[in-house]
C-alpha cells in the first residue's frame, strides 16, 4: 500500500524534470544590472530522467520503510535510522547526477526547484547555476555512509540526525592560570554583577556602537511592488515577476518595507542617528552582511560595488572620534552574503576552479583582498590573515583613534607602546579586537563537505589560540567578533565545540563576543558545564545584534556602555526606527529612538529572582538562582554571564517577561507569536535552550526538511494552486521552526523540497 504512494512521488519527480525545459531564458530585469547568468546547458535529458527515477525508486524499495502495525499509516522516523537510509539513497542519485557533470546536475536541480515552486523560475535557474557546481563538487567527492554524507543529509534534506561530536580535546600553549596575570577585575557579586565601580577619579563608561546585517539593496525602487513573488521585493520585476497574482500591488515606501531589503536612504538615516545619539562613541562594531538577498543574480562586480559603497558610507557618515576628531574606527567581519556565489568560502587547500567569481565554483581570494583594502583604513595594512582567510587581530589605540598593530607577534610589544593611569580619565589601552571568519564554520558553505572534513579549515582556530595566548601574556582583554554566532544552528557542531573549548580556556581574557546573522535581538551564554548550566559556571557572553534590514523587525542598532578598565559590558541599549511611525517615510528620514536597555528591562527581574521571591512577591525556595545579590551592585556592575543566566531563569518562570523578550527579538514588530510561544512549554524550553546554547550541539536545534525561506507570500500561491503535489509539499512542512534570516540557499531549499515531498507522501493515510 505504501510503496504505491511512494511510487506516485517518484512519478511526480520524474514529471518535474521532463516538464522543466529550457523555455525560460533566465534573464532578470532589475534596472541596469546585468546578471551574467551561466546558461543552463543540457546534455541528455533521458539520462537525467533515469538518474532521478532511480533515486525515487530506491526509496520505494527500501526494506526499512514499511507500513505501520495498523497496515494503513506509514510513519517514518526521518531523524532516525530510516531517515539516514532514505537520505543515503537520495544522495546516491544526486551523486550520479553530479558525476555526469555540472551542467547536467544544475539542469536537473533547477528543474526540481521550478516543479516544486520553491522559487520563481528565474530565481531557481540563477541561484542553482551559481550554487549547483559547488554542490556537485561536494557530492562527487562524497562517500555514501560517511560522516560527511550524514552531515550533508542533516543540512540539506533534514533527514537523519546529527552524528555524535567527534571533537578532540585541544592542547593549548600554556595551562589555564588560576588567576589572570597582570589583571585583577573587581570581585564578582553572587548575583552576577561585577563589584561596584568605585573610585572618585575612575573614567566614565565607554560607548561602543554595534550594527549588523545591513543588506542594502542598490536596486530598491520606491513605488514598486512590496508584495511580490521573489525572496525580496521593492524592485522592478516587470519582466519576470508575478506581482498581480497577489492582488493589488503594495507600493514600496521611500525608506523601506518589511518585505524588502534596506534602501540606501535607510542606511544613511542609521548613520545620522548614530551621529546624533552617540556622538561620543569610542568605536563601532559591524558584524557583516552588506549585500542584499538577491542570491540568484549576484556577481563579483556588483558585490564589489556594494561592499565598497557600504564601507565608504561608514567612513564618511559615522561620528568623529571624541578623542582624536578623526573618523570613528569600525571593526568589521565578513558575512556569508559578501561572497559570490553566496555562502562560498573555500578553505585553504580547496581547488576553487578557474576563480572567475561570476557564478559556479569561483574562488574567494578577490573578496579577502577587497575586505583587506576596505578595512585597512581602520585596522592598518598589515593584517595578513585578512588576505589569507578573512580574519584579523588588532589592538585598539584609544589615543590615535585606530588600531596600533596586528597579529600575535606584536601582542606583547604593542602593550608597552602606551601607558595609562586609570585615574587620568583615559581608558586603559589594553583592548584587542579579534575578527573571525565564521563562514569557515558554516554548514551552508558547501566547500566544507570534504572527505574527510577539515577539523580546522584554513588553520583559523590554531591562529585564534595563538592570538588569545599572546593577549593573555600581555594582560590584554579581547573582544571577539564574527558574523554567525558560535551556538547557531548553522554552525558545525565540531567547529563550535572547538571554539567553546577555546572560550573556556581564555575566559578571563575574553571580555565579550559579538555576532549578527540571525537578524534578531538576542544573546547566548557559554558554560563550563553544559550538563548543569547555572550562574556559577556561565563563563562568556555572546551579544547577537539585530539587523538594519527590516525583514524580521524594525531597523535597529545597539549601543554598549563599557567599563574603561575591564571592558566588560555595563549595559546594552537597542535603538530602532519604528516603521509604523507616521514620519517613517518622510524625506528627512525616519526617527530613531531608544527602544530598551538591558538593565531597565531585566535588572528588576534578576533582583526579584535573587531576592528569593517570585514575580508576585511570594517566597520561592526552589528557583535555582543566587539569592545574595546586592541591588546596588546589580545597578552599577557589569552584565556578566552569571547575570544573563539569571535572566534566563526569570524568563523561564515568568510568561509575561518571556513574551516581552520575544517581542524585543523583533523590536516590537509582528503578531501574536510571542504569546503563543509563552503559552507552550515546548516553545519556552526551546527558546531558553537557545539562549543557553553558545555551543551548537547544546542549542536544542533539530534537523528539519522545511523549505528554508518559503515565505508567507509564496505559501498563498502554493496552497491556492491546482497542483496537488504543491499542496502536499506545503502540508509536509508543518509549523516551520525558527530560521536565521541569512539561511539563503536555493540548492538547499530544493533538496529540502524533495525531502518534504517524501515525508508528505509517506504520511498520507489511505
Q: pLDDT (tens digit, 9 = 90+) per residue, 316-333?
A: 998 877 666 778 999 999
Report the pLDDT value the prediction gives residue 681, as an integer from 0 to 100: 85
Task: Give residue-wise pLDDT tens across range 114-148.
Answer: 877 888 999 999 999 999 999 999 999 999 899 99
Position 71 pLDDT exceeds 50: no
Band (pLDDT 50/70/90 cuts) for residue 704 is low
Confirm if 724 and 757 have CB atoms less than 8 A apart: no
Least confident of 154-163, 291-300, 360-369: 360-369
Give bridge partners of residue 717 from the DSSP assignment.
Answer: none
Q: Tell me if the bond preceding 452 is cis, omega within 30° of 0.
A: yes
SS (H, E, C) 253-281: CCCCCCCCCECHHHHHHHHHHHHHHCCCC
Q: What is the pLDDT of residue 323?
A: 65
**Taking each helix axis from N to C terminus, what angle separates 45-60 and 2-19, rounded to the nearest 10 degrees?**
160
Place of cell 538547499: 748
The residues near 8 (Cβ < 8 Å, ≥ 6 apart) are 761
Residue 185: what pLDDT?
46
C-alpha to C-alpha distance for 114 and 130, rounded to whole angstroms: 16
pLDDT at 152: 93
**675 pLDDT band (50/70/90 cuts)?**
low
How large is the average pLDDT for residues 32-43? 40
Residue 669, pLDDT score: 83
d(CA 367, CA 515): 20
Write the CA distances from 448 to 4, 105, 139, 369, 634, integer angstroms: 38, 19, 12, 21, 44
What is residue 63's predicted lDDT score, i.e. its pLDDT? Answer: 36
pLDDT for res 115:
78
**Exposed/middle/buried for 142, CB within 10 Å: 0-12, 13-18, 19+?**
buried
Highest mean pLDDT among 190-204, 392-406, 446-460, 702-716: 446-460
For 762, half-sphere exposure in the C-beta direction (CA atoms, 13 angstrom radius) is 23
Confidence grade of residue 54 (pLDDT, cut at 50, 70, 90)? low
Specify the pLDDT at position 749: 84
pLDDT category, 668, cuts 50, 70, 90? confident
**715-749 per-position pLDDT tens digit:** 344 333 334 334 333 433 333 344 555 667 888 88
Q: Tell me what pLDDT residue 118 has.
A: 85
First to last CA, the chain: 8
Asked if residue 17 lies in contact with residue 52, where contact means CB atoms within 8 angstroms, the answer is yes
- pLDDT above 60 (res 563): yes
Average confidence (pLDDT) over 284-294: 97
**pTM over 0.75, yes/no:** yes
CATH class for domain 206-219+262-698?
alpha beta
**Which part of the chain is CATH 3.60.21.10?**
206-219+262-698
The average pLDDT across 482-491 equals 95
| Continuous segment of H or E residues that includes residue 461 | helix 460-473
Where is mean pLDDT largest: 84-88, 615-619, 710-714, 720-724?
84-88
DSSP characters over 654-705? -HHHHHHHHHHHTTT-SSSHHHHHHT-HHHHHHHHHHHT-SSGGGS------
User: At 622, is the pLDDT very low, low, confident or very high (cuts 50, 70, 90)?
Assistant: low
Does the pLDDT of residue 184 top 50, yes or no?
Answer: no
What is the pLDDT, as a whole number, of residue 79? Answer: 73
Round to whole Å and give the CA distance between 199 and 364. 51
Q: Binding site for Zn(2+), residues?
A: 213, 215, 289, 336, 483, 517, 519
CA 174 to chain centre: 32
Instruction: Read off the pLDDT band of 46 (50, 70, 90).
Output: low
User: Which whole number is the average pLDDT over 619-645?
Assistant: 64
- Mean of pLDDT values over 633-645: 81
Whole-number pLDDT of residue 182: 43
Integer Cα distance of 147 and 663 in angstroms: 39
Residue 613 is placed in which grid cell? Answer: 521571591
- Mean pLDDT lowest for which of 88-97, 220-229, 452-461? 88-97
Instruction: Give the whole-angstrom CA distance, residue 48 versus residue 196.
Output: 69
Low-confidence winner among 59-68, 177-186, 285-294, 703-712 (lowest mean pLDDT): 59-68
According to DSSP, the residues that pair with 600 across neighbouring strands are none
- The pLDDT score that the predictor gives to residue 413 is 32
pLDDT of residue 692: 97
Q: Which of 28-32, 271-275, 520-524, 708-712 has the lowest mean pLDDT?
A: 28-32
Tell me how far CA of residue 5 lies from CA of 74, 130, 378, 389, 762, in angstroms: 10, 34, 61, 49, 7
The alpha helices in 293-452, defined as continuous H runs, are 300-317, 365-379, 384-389, 411-414
Reported as type and span, the H/E element at residue 220 is none
Residue 241: pLDDT above 90?
A: no
CA 604 – CA 711 distance, rounded (Å): 38
Over residues 264-280, mean pLDDT:
96
Q: Is 117 helix (H, G, I), strand (E, B) or coil?
A: coil
Model confidence band, residue 673 (pLDDT cutoffs 50, 70, 90): low
Q: Which residues are known binding-site members?
A: 213, 215, 289, 336, 483, 517, 519
Burial of 246 (0-12, 13-18, 19+ CB in 10 A): middle
Cβ density class 193-225: b for 16+ within 10 Å, e for less: bbebbeeeeebebbbbbbbbbbbbbbbbbeebb
CB 559 within 8 A of CB 210: yes
Helices (H), 525-672: 598-610, 631-636, 641-653, 655-665
Query: Is pLDDT larger for residue 554 or for residue 249?
Result: 554
Tell me the average pLDDT across 518-544: 96
Q: Which of 159-163, 209-213, 263-267, 575-579 has the lowest mean pLDDT?
A: 159-163
Model confidence at 474, in pLDDT bands (50, 70, 90)? very high
Specify the pLDDT at position 717.
40
Q: What pLDDT shows up at residue 226?
A: 92
Question: What's the confidence (pLDDT) of residue 274?
Answer: 97
Q: Which three cell numbers stand for residue 554?
A: 524594525
Average pLDDT over residues 436-459: 95
Q: Which of 282, 545, 505 lies closest to 403, judged by CA?
A: 282
Give the pLDDT confidence score for residue 425 in this predicted structure. 52
- Mean pLDDT value across the chain: 77
Q: What CA–CA distance (Å, rounded) separates 760 from 764? A: 7
Q: What percent of the chain has pLDDT over 90?
A: 52
Amino acid at each position: 500500500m505504501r510503496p504505491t504512494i511512494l511510487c506516485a512521488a517518484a512519478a511526480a519527480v520524474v514529471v518535474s524534470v521532463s516538464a522543466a525545459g529550457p523555455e525560460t531564458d533566465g534573464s532578470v530585469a532589475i534596472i541596469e544590472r546585468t546578471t551574467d547568468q551561466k546558461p543552463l546547458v543540457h546534455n541528455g535529458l533521458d539520462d537525467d530522467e533515469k538518474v532521478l527515477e532511480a533515486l525515487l525508486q530506491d526509496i520505494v524499495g527500501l526494506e526499512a520503510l514499511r507500513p505501520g502495525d495498523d497496515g494503513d499509516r506509514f510513519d517514518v522516523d526521518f531523524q532516525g535510522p530510516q531517515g539516514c537510509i532514505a537520505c543515503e539513497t537520495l544522495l546516491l542519485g544526486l551523486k550520479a547526477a553530479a558525476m555526469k557533470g555540472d551542467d547536467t546536475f544544475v539542469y536537473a536541480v533547477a528543474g526540481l526547484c521550478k516543479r516544486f515552486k520553491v522559487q520563481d523560475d528565474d530565481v531557481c535557474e540563477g541561484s542553482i547555476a551559481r550554487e549547483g557546481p559547488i554542490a556537485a563538487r561536494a557530492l562527487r567527492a562524497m562517500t555514501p555512509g560517511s560522516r560527511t554524507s550524514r552531515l550533508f543529509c542533516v543540512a540539506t534534506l533534514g533527514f537523519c540526525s546529527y552524528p555524535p561530536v567527534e571533537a578532540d580535546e585541544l592542547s593549548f600553549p600554556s595551562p589555564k592560570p588560576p588567576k589572570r596575570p597582570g589583571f585583577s577585575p573587581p570581585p564578582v557579586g553572587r548575583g552576577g554583577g561585577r563589584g561596584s565601580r568605585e573610585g572618585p577619579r575612575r573614567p566614565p563608561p565607554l560607548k561602543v556602537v554595534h550594527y549588523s546585517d545591513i543588506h542594502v539593496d542598490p536596486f530598491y525602487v520606491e513605488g514598486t511592488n512590496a508584495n511580490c513573488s521573489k525572496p525580496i521585493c521593492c524592485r522592478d520585476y516587470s519582466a519576470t515577476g508575478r506581482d498581480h497574482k497577489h492582488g493589488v500591488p503594495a507600493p514600496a515606501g521611500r525608506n523601506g518595507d518589511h518585505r524588502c531589503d534596506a534602501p540606501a536612504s535607510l542606511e544613511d538615516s542609521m548613520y545620522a542617528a548614530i551621529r546624533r545619539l552617540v556622538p561620543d562613541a569610542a568605536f563601532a562594531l559591524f558584524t557583516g552582511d552588506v549585500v542584499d538577498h538577491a542570491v540568484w543574480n549576484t556577481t563579483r562586480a556588483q558585490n564589489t560595488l556594494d561592499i565598497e559603497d557600504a564601507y565608504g558610507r561608514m567612513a564618511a557618515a559615522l561620528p568623529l572620534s571624541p578623542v582624536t576628531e578623526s573618523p570613528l574606527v569600525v571593526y568589521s567581519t565578513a558575512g556569508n552574503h559578501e561572497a559570490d556565489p553566496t555562502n562560498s568560502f573555500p578553505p585553504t587547500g580547496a581547488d576553487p576552479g578557474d576563480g572567475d567569481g561570476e557564478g559556479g565554483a569561483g574562488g574567494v581570494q578577490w573578496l579577502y583582498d577587497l575586505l583587506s583594502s576596505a578595512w585597512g583604513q581602520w585596522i592598518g595594512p598589515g593584517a595578513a590573515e585578512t588576505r589569507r582567510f578573512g580574519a584579523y587581530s588588532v589592538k585598539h589605540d584609544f589615543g590615535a583613534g585606530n588600531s596600533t598593530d596586528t597579529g600575535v607577534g606584536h601582542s606583547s610589544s604593542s602593550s608597552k607602546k602606551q601607558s595609562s593611569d586609570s585615574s587620568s580619565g583615559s581608558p586603559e589601552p589594553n583592548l584587542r579586537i579579534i575578527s573571525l571568519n565564521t563562514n569557515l564554520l558554516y554548514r551552508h558553505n558547501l566547500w566544507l563537505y570534504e572527505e574527510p572534513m577539515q577539523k580546522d579549515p584554513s588553520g583559523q582556530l590554531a591562529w585564534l589560540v595563538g592570538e588569545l595566548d599572546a593577549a593573555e601574556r600581555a594582560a590584554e582583554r579581547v573582544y571577539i567578533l564574527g558574523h554567525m554566532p558560535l551556538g547557531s544552528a548553522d554552525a558545525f557542531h565540531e567547529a563550535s565545540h572547538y571554539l567553546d573549548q577555546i572560550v573556556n580556556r581564555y575566559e578571563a581574557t575574553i571580555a565579550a563576543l559579538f555576532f549578527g546573522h540571525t537578524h534578531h535581538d538576542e544573546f547566548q551564554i557559554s558554560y563550563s558545564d553544559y550538563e548543569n548550566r547555572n550562574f556559577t559556571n556561565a563563563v562568556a557572553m555572546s551579544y547577537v545584534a539585530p539587523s538594519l534590514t527590516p525583514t524580521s523587525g524594525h531597523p535597529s542598532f545597539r549601543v554598549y556602555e563599557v567599563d574603561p578598565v575591564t571592558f566588560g559590558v555595563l549595559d546594552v541599549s537597542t535603538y530602532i526606527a519604528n516603521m509604523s511611525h507616521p514620519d517613517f517615510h518622510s524625506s528627512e528620514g525616519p526617527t530613531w529612538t531608544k527602544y530598551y536597555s538591558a538593565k531597565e528591562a531585566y535588572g528588576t527581574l534578576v533582583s526579584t529572582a535573587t531576592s528569593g521571591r517570585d514575580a508576585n512577591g511570594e517566597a520561592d525556595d526552589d528557583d535555582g538562582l543566587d539569592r545574595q545579590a546586592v541591588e546596588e551592585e546589580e545597578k552599577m556592575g557589569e552584565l556578566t554571564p552569571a547575570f544573563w543566566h539569571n535572566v534566563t531563569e526569570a524568563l523561564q518562570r515568568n510568561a509575561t517577561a518571556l513574551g516581552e523578550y520575544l517581542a524585543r527579538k523583533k523590536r516590537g514588530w509582528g503578531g501574536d507569536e510571542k504569546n503563543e510561544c509563552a503559552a507552550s512549554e515546548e516553545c519556552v524550553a526551546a527558546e531558553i535552550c537557545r539562549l543557553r546554547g553558545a555551543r551548537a550541539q547544546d542549542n536544542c536545534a533539530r534537523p528539519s526538511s522545511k523549505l528554508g525561506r518559503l515565505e508567507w507570500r509564496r505559501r498563498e500561491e502554493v496552497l491556492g494552486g491546482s497542483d496537488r503535489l504543491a499542496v502536499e509539499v506545503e502540508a509536509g512542512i508543518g509549523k516551520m521552526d525558527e530560521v536565521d534570516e541569512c539561511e539563503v540557499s536555493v540548492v538547499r531549499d530544493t533538496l529540502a523540497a524533495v525531502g518534504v515531498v517524501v515525508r508528505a507522501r509517506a504520511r498520507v493515510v489511505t
